[in-house]
Structure 1
């Protein structure tokens, strides 16, 4: 990836603007995709960002960046966002022209596809003007070198609306285990782990799904390693609650770590097999 090759402007919130005719910023990823793979991430987005979508004075724009070889996840995101905002417009972006061509037959009212990368071009795809209220980039940066993550974040955050949200992370092939970072125009805010609890042996198993910014930081001395260690310890201590089911054990685990870590979200989110912590508590040193 030639960082910044397709943009003008600098900084998160700085209004990076793609030059006309410039090639997309990024490289083609493997493109693996399955139906419902991102349902846990989408469920969190709807719950946490639904209020911002509802209060938008104009039809909000959402971007699915790097939807892959098939458009299923973009189509599903559009449907899930419409539960809270029926007039939402969703733009699916891919670098590979062949993927854009394959997705185009699925376009329709409020759903369009185009070619683009981290610079997030917005014109000419049947999408409204203005900045996106949401950008989702799932299983994209995991395939890049770690040192390229800050620039990619900066480019995408620089395209967000003032109250917009970037959700960037990874999951396994069928969506049982997720980890994602939520970022505003100013930069990263939180890290969320989410899992199908019935398949979870320990919270530490989610380490293999950490976003690229953290995947190589799960070593002693790094905050994210301490976070996963404390989750595992609390999970072990909550073993007696396993007799009541994996969910009760998870709820006890989250309640325990919340005494020492800045855990976000309420009981309803934790019941879904999620735990969210402030980015400042797990950011790389």
Structure 2
């Protein structure tokens, strides 16, 4: 399906980006969402809000084509028409194209949407509506990966959302140079970043990771990967429903069901 005449939904982002900034989430998409694309009749992916340059959309197409299926199509969507025009030289139709659009997805029906560093400038109260707007326009069985990361992609987090709502939360870090898992709190997705306070499950999770990381200091001589794996294993053994196996954790990731960190409902003032 092509572009829609509907006015793009959303606001223009800051647009900052860097090469390889989204490598961590792209690798996760390959591992956890690749099967959605492999079985799709039309393996269409939307990179929503790719920024001032198209580099991350170019990289996403290359990674998916090399590791999932070569006929995957990526459409980069931006609200700002100047950014769409600037991205045109990077297009490789039909495999990589760029168009104007927002949360309404410009009439496309993708299997997967990646939206990174898009909702950071929105209010927390707007997140659920944005998720619903996107997921209602997905192909059957499709999913949204929405999250945030720092400018170089060293730390980040993302939520997998489908038609039924949020499913998983992933925290990820470049382990070389990681001082503490507490740093992950700086780049929580918008739905959680204001919930890192006592009484919230995301606060409990980050504290549990931080405590386990300190307790695993004896593994530091074997490298940060071994220390991280030991910390994640300890968190899992303490009862947190961690997904995956050590081979996944070695990438500096930890993925859990969204139900493990669901924020408490806001209560109206009395």
- Coarse TM-score class (shorter-chain normalised): over 0.9
Within 2, Cα distance between the matches of 1:106 and 1:20?
22
TM-score (norm 1): 0.89
What is the DSSP-based 3-state SS (H/G/I as helix, E as strand, rest coil) of the residue aligned with 1:102?
A: helix
- SS of the residue 1:264 aligns to: coil
1:97 to 59, 68, 81: 81
Match of residue 261 from structure 2:
282
Alignment of 1:19-34 (within 5 A): 21-34=5-18
Q: 1:47-88 CA distances to partner (integer Å, 9 max, x unpaired)? A: 1111221122x2310000000000000010001110211001
Distance in structure 1 (CA, Å) of the matches to 2:13 and 2:126 = 14
List alignment gaps of at least 5 residues for structure 2: 265-270
In structure 2, what is the equivalent of residue 78 of structure 1?
61
1:174 lines up with 2:160 in the alignment: no
Question: Is the contact made by 2:3 and 2:107 (CA closer than 8 Å) also made in structure 1?
Answer: no
Distance 1:240 1:88, change over 3 A: same
**Further displaced range: 200-209 or 157-166:** 157-166
Q: TM-score, normalised by structure 2?
A: 0.93
SS in 2 for 1:269: helix
1:19 deviates by: 11
Q: Which residue number in structure 1 is paired with residue 249 of structure 2?
A: 270
| TM superposition shift of 1:20 | 5.4
CA distance in 1, matches of 2:124, 2:36: 31
Aligned equivalents of 2:39, 2:236: Cα separation in 1: 31
| Number of residue pairs matched by the alignment | 261
Cα displacement string for residues 106-150 of structure 1 (whole angstroms, at most 9, x for unaligned residues): 111311111111111235xxxxxxx21110000000111111111
Q: Pairwise CA RMSD of aligned residues? A: 1.6
The one of 150, 153, 163 equivalent to 2:131 is 153
What are the within-5 Å matches in structure 2 for residues 78-227 of structure 1? 78-83=61-66, 84-109=68-93, 110-122=95-107, 131-227=109-205
Structure 1 residue runs without a partner (length 5+) = 1-17, 124-130
Q: What is the CA–CA distance in structure 2 between the aligned matches of 1:206 and 1:20, rounded to whole Å?
A: 38
1:168-221, Cα deviation, whole Å (9 max, x unpaired): 000111111111111112110111011110121111111000000000000000
* Counterparts of 2:183 and 2:11, CA distance in 1: 29
Q: 2:211 aligns with which of 224, 233, 238?
A: 233
Q: Matched residues in 1 for 2:39 and 2:105: separation? A: 23
Contact 2:23 2:153 (8 Å CA) reproduced: yes
Cα distance in 1, alignment partners of residues 140 and 203 from structure 2: 32
State whether residues 156 and 187 of structure 2, in contact with CA within 8 Å, keep that contact through their aligned partners in structure 1: yes
Runs (4+) off by over 2 Å: 18-22
In structure 2, C-alpha distance between the alignment counterparts of 1:266 and 1:183, rounded to whole Å: 22
User: How has the CA–CA distance of structure 1 residues 66 and 19 changed in structure 2, closer, same or farther, with 3 Å as cutoff?
Assistant: closer
Cross-structure match for 1:45: 29
Q: Any conservation in 1 of the 2:3–2:106 contact (CA below 8 Å)?
A: no
Preserved CA contact (<8 Å) 1:161 1:185: no
**Which among 45, 49, 57 is matched to residue 66 of structure 1?**
49
